[in-house]
Each structure stands twice: as structure tokens, then as C-alpha cells.
Amino acid sequence: MYQDKTLKCKECGNEFVFTAGEQEFYAEKGFQNEPQRCKACRDARKNATREPREMFTTVCHKCGGEAKVPFQPNSDRPVYCSDCFAEMKGQQ
């Protein structure tokens, strides 16, 4: 029913593909207009309006190294650095 379309980004001028799956998603959500910006420009625009996240420094429960997290850690739950967290997530 839908076919991939090549569109031109109004921000950077590069071509990008509006996939059949994306078109189907847009139709399901009732969106009338096609995207005007490529993913990179949409992300940059979205991030430009966000305030930077406050990061908290704590000690990794597994390796004892420094861990920076976007929440205030408390003693109720262990906190892991990004490396240990990724390692644990990969084991599941």
C-alpha cells in the first residue's frame, strides 16, 4: 500500500527516505503532512529546546567506579556505571 518516498530536508537540504512504515504510522496517528526535516535535523531541533539534564555522581555498586546518573541516587537501590549496566543488560 505505501512505498518509500525520498524527500528533501528543509533544514539541511539533504535527501532522506520517508519509509512505508513511517507513512503507515503517520496515517494511523492521523498526521496529514509529510515530515519536512530529516531525522538528524528533527533531533537537533528537539534537543535545542531542552534544558541540559542535571547529572548526579555516585559510586558504582558493582565495580566501585564513578557513575553519573540523571537521578538523585538513594541507598534503597544499587546504582551502576554505564559499562556495568550495559554488561548486566547484555546478560539477560
Q: In the structure, how many helices (H) and strands (E) does the chain have?
A: 3, 4
Helix, strand, or coil (residue 2): coil
* Reported pTM: 0.54
Q: Give yes or no for residue 92 having a pLDDT over 70.
A: no
pLDDT digits (tens, 9 = 90+) for 31-70: 999 999 999 999 999 888 878 888 999 999 999 999 999 8
Question: In the chain, where are the structural domains located?
Answer: 5-48, 56-91
Provide the CA 24 distance to its chain's centre, in angstroms.
21
